[in-house]
Amino acid sequence: MKKLIKQGFELTNDNLLLQETLFHTANGYLGVRGNFEEGYPQGFSSSRGQYINGFYDIAEMKQAEQLYGFVNKKEVMLNVADTQSLMIEIGGEAVSLFENATDIYRELDMEKGTALRQFTWHNQAGQSFQIAFKRMASFVMLPLFTIELTITSNEFSGEVKITSKHNGEVTNFADPNDPRVAAESEHYLRVVGNQVDEAQGISKITAKTQVSDLAAETIVFHESKLPLTELVATEVENTFIYRGEISPKQPLSFTKFSLFLDSRRYDLAKASEELIAEVKSAGLSDLYQKQAAYLTDFWQNAVAEVSGDQLLNESLDYSLYSLLQSAGKDGISNIAAKGLSGEGYEGHYFWDTEIYMMPFFTLTNPQIAQKLIHYRYSILDKARENARILGHQTGALYPWRTIAGAESSGYFPSGTAQYHINSDIAYAIIQYYLATGDLQLIADYGGEVIFETARVWLEVGHFTEEHFVINAVTGPDEYTCVVNNNFYTNISAKYHLEWAGKFYQVLTEAGLAEVIGKIGLTSAEIAEWQRAAAAMYLPFSKELQIHEQDDSFLAKPVMEFKNLPAEKFPLLLHYHPLYLYRHQVTKQADLVLAYFLYENQFEEAAIKRGYDYYEPLTTHDSSLSSCIFSIVANQFGDSEKAYNYFDESSKIDITNSHKNTKDGIHAANMGGTYLGLVFGFGGLRLTESGISLRPQLPKNWDKMTFSFHYHGSQFLAEITEATINLTLVAGAAQSVMINGENYLVEKKQSLNEVLK
């Protein structure tokens, strides 16, 4: 049973905002926050939102001092029409969860793909009613969002009135005091058309963006035994009123269907009629069945369980389900830092996708991984333009944060300066290739991304007498900005350049080298890349015998933050950036992340020394941190430390431990939770020598189980303290390396390896 359940919770504003995020319903194309259909009473602030992935407008981003190349416009995800409202009156009394309600219960059913909110409501005469709202964002018909309301009267007979609204006038959420959300609330979308078909009870509102020249059409219609008795249409909002009788023990069902269409994917003139007809002919129960069937398939491919920790399993399920809800699957959208659950980071895509979230898709659903790679290809021209703005003559530099490809990061030191995004994208494509063997994708578009991004390294770095160095960039740690030779950046660039050379050769040998001609790549250029990779400078302190985060990091005073009160965190909200930059203090895994991704380049003892040095300097103010510390602790065999970090990171949203889940889920951390289980405790690695496992079960678990795909075959790994059982679930026999030895896992056979 995969469910997230909340019951008996207090109706405080903080709790409700948090639940709006946790109970959001999304399908990678559209997302709707878990707002109450009937709204909240005065004094409650809600962040009411419904979003379309990749649907954006362009907003001004004023720079006080507009230096050359500074970004002064940003892409922002939009809050589109509100189709959530449903108000109920029974016998003339308004039904509210805030008055005379008991047995309040919410559940997200991750096997059925629905979110339920139900309660018992008591009228003034003391009669009771069961009220249930069930929501679904359909995975099989992406523009469709449904709300099924069921009212059951226990004793009362009489009038029921349901008011349903479709509101086209919405604004975006803002908080001027938090840099992680928009500072100003904007009214981006303007309603340009409102059509009501009274006979069919259909409402269609079309709205246009101000600058990006995109349009969204939202359509609402209902299914109910109650007759429509009144319809009020203004320029921007339509209100439908249904009235009828209810009698005891006769559940009354009312369904509101909403379709969200945007002009990036749909022909708005045609699509809606076809979709309305399709929904009507399918009917709700058929749509529910298809949703459940889709999810049966998803979970069969994405097994990830441990025995003996219910909250952890709930978190694992919630993480994987959220990743599915968040991922764009059409090749022109991606995974926003908050998925489609809220407006934190304004719907932007970051390196979060490639380093934290893609591995989950690569190993469980490579088709989605393909689409995520295709998205990067779809904005390659924008990345080329971005490189020119930064002064590079060749190649492409991906924007640090974006939706449709334009750099939308306003603060370049912890934004655009993070050039490592180029090699992070390359890394994810290489991992995809190692997991699937899909050279065709490299030939079709993955290779072009890898080559074009590789080109920039030769421009941003230069050769000294001894080395190739990269100056004035920022690594993953956003508390240390614009430095020379950030270790993570340099080692990732080295790997990127080496692989670009390998792909050049492999594609040429396979006769798939069209891309090489297309972008004018020469063998001389490849030779230069290999020379830079071989000479790449990787800073190391002889004195401390540890790798240096960058050229100057170890020379700075250590920031003593351990004794600071909890209110001082995250430090970014309480200290000027320059103060942080001048100290040895990190926001997140930086060098430690390099220890995980480029593990083969290090000796275990060196990893341990570096980890011990950097761990006390790390605040984990970013949710992208603890999961990596967990994985690396496993690399040097400290499974207790690994467990503690994993436990903390896997529950961030479910326990709201970072206190900002209200703005949206921490999607990268959810991918990090998967990484922590499968790459951390499972020890899974994808390298040129194949796929390997080196499991280490923490003492708190009796067993862990996970599935993965490799070269078209699917496997199930079941690991206990003493045994590893690997089953070929589907596909051809493959060889898998376990604890350093190769085993051929053949059809339907189980490999039971007793741990030595």
User: Which are the catalytic amino acids?
Assistant: 478
Sole binder of ligand BGC in the list 237, 478, 550, 653 (CB under 6 A): 478
Nearer to ligand BGC, 328 or 476 (CB): 476
Pattern 654-683, ligand BGC, x by CB under 6 A: --------------x---------------
Least gap, CB of 418 to ligand BGC (angstroms): 8
One of 95, 624, 633, 719 touching ligand BGC (CB under 6 A): 624
Based on the number of CB atoms within 10 Å of its own CB, is 689 exposed (0-12), middle (13-18) or buried (19 or more)? exposed
The tokens describing 515, both together, are 């891309």
Q: Which of residues 24 and 620 has its CB atom nearest to ligand BGC in the complex?
A: 620
Nearer to ligand BGC, 162 or 572 (CB): 572
> How far apart are CB 338 and ligand BGC at their closest, in Å?
8
Q: Minimum CB separation from ligand BGC for residue 317, in Å?
A: 22
- Kindly tell me the burial class for residue 29, based on how many C-beta atoms sit within 10 Å of its own C-beta (0-12, 13-18, 19 or more): buried
Give the Cα separation of 590 and 671 in Å (integer): 17
Kindly report the backbone phi and psi dihedral angles of residue 196, in degrees, each rounded to the nearest multiple of 5, phi listed first: -125, 130
- Please identify, using beta-carbon distances, which residue of 135 and 587 lies nearer to ligand BGC: 587
What amino acid is encoded at 425 in this protein? I
Shortest CB 478 distance to ligand BGC, Å: 4
Stretch that binds ligand BGC, among 272-280, 305-313, 346-354, 594-602 (CB under 6 A): 346-354
DSSP letters for 684-711: -EEETTEEEE-----TT-SEEEEEEEET
Among 28, 49, 328, 476, binds ligand BGC (CB under 6 A): 476
Q: How far is the CB of 368 from ligand BGC (least distance, A)?
A: 20
500 binds ligand BGC (CB under 6 A): no
- Give the count of beta carbons closer than 10 Å to the beta carbon of residue 616: 11
Stretch that binds ligand BGC, among 78-86, 344-352, 454-462, 496-504 (CB under 6 A): 344-352
Q: Which stretch binds ligand BGC (CB under 6 A): 305-313, 343-351, 461-469, 488-496?
A: 343-351
Contacts of ligand BGC in 521-550 (CB under 6 A)? none
* Residue 631 or 668 having the CB closest to ligand BGC: 668
Closer residue to ligand BGC in complex, CB, 488/679: 488
Q: Under DSSP, is residue 128 helix (H, G, I), strand (E, B) or coil?
A: strand
Give helix 380-389 / helix 447-460 axis angle, nearest 10°: 10
Residues 709/395, Cβ–Cβ less than 8 Å: no
Does 588 participate in binding ligand BGC (rule CB under 6 A)? yes
Asked if 188 interacts with ligand BGC (CB under 6 A), we say no
659: number of CA atoms within 13 Å, CB side?
6
Pick between residue 336 and residue 507 the one whose CB is nearest to ligand BGC. 336
Provide, rounded to whole angstroms, the least separation between the CB of residue 542 and ligand BGC. 30
Compute the least distance from the CB of residue 75 to ligand BGC, in Å. 15
Residue from 243, 241, 192 nearest 218 by CA: 192
* CA distances for 30 relative to 51, 139, 202, 553, angstroms: 6, 10, 20, 43
In angstroms, give the least distance from the CB of 278 to ligand BGC.
36
- Which of 352, 424, 438, 452 binds ligand BGC (CB under 6 A)? It is 352
d(CA 315, CA 646): 11
Selected from 266, 350, 427, 445, the binder of ligand BGC by CB under 6 A is 350
The whole-angstrom separation of Cα 446 and Cα 325 is 25
337 is a site residue for ligand BGC (CB under 6 A): yes
User: Which is closer to ligand BGC, CB of 337 or CB of 372?
Assistant: 337
Smallest separation (angstroms) from ligand BGC to the CB of 571: 12
- Which of 242, 257, 345, 457 is the binder for ligand BGC (CB under 6 A)? 345
Query: How many CA atoms lie less than 13 Å away from 121 in the CB half-sphere?
Result: 23
Q: Which residue carries 């990090």 as its tokens?
A: 672
Which residue, 734, 705, 437, 364, is CA-closest to 747?
A: 734
Q: Does 82 bind ligand BGC (CB under 6 A)?
A: no
The angle that helices 626-635 and 604-614 make with each other, rounded to 10 degrees, is 150
Q: Which stretch binds ligand BGC (CB under 6 A): 345-353, 435-443, 603-611, 704-712?
A: 345-353
**Residue 183 CB partners (closer than 8 Å, separation 6+):** 174, 175, 176
Distance of alpha carbon 367 from alpha carbon 649, whole angstroms: 27
Residue with structure tokens 């309600």? 101
Task: Single out the segment in contact with ligand BGC by CB under 6 A; choices: 220-228, 348-356, 450-458, 460-468.
Answer: 348-356
User: Is the dihedral angle over the CA atoms 56, 58, 62, 68 positive or is it negative?
Assistant: positive
Min dist CB 588 to ligand BGC, Å, is 6
Nearer to ligand BGC, 434 or 624 (CB): 624
Closest CA to 276 of 207, 204, 209: 204
Residues 4 and 107 sit within 8 Å (Cβ to Cβ): yes
Residue 180 near residue 345 (C-beta atoms within 8 A): yes
Output 181 or 654, the one with its CB closest to ligand BGC.
181
The rounded distance, in Å, linking the Cα atoms of 45 and 31 is 20
Backbone φ/ψ region at 187: left (φ over 0), alpha (ψ -120 to 50), beta: beta
* Rounded CA separation 650/674 (Å): 9
- Going by their DSSP bridges, the two strands 86-90 and 93-94 should be labelled as antiparallel
Binding residues for ligand BGC restricted to 203-222, rule: CB under 6 A? none
CB-nearer residue toward ligand BGC: 37 or 663: 663
Show the site string, 678-717: x = touches ligand BGC by CB under 6 A, - = not: ----------------------------------------
CB of 684 to ligand BGC, least distance (A): 23
Per the listing, tokens 């249904």 go with: 242
- Binding footprint of ligand BGC, residue count (CB under 6 A): 12
The answer to the question of residue 622 lying near ligand BGC (CB under 6 A) is yes
Give the nearest distance from C-beta 638 to ligand BGC in angstroms.
Answer: 25
In the complex with ligand BGC, the residue whose CB is nearer, 532 or 589, is 589
Residues 8-47 contacting ligand BGC, CB under 6 A:
none
Nearer to ligand BGC, 107 or 352 (CB): 352
Tokens matching residue 282: 């399918």
Look at phi and psi of residue 696 and say left if phi exceeds 0, alpha if psi is from -120 to 50, else beta: beta
Residues 6+ away with beta carbon under 8 Å from 465: none
**Could you tell me the smallest distance in angstroms from the CB atom of residue 669 to ligand BGC?**
9
The reply to whether 357 sits near ligand BGC by the rule CB under 6 A is no
- Which of residues 587, 641, 662, 685 is near ligand BGC by CB under 6 A? 587
Please give the residue ranges that form the binding site for ligand BGC (CB under 6 A): 337, 345, 350-352, 476, 478, 587-588, 622, 624, 668
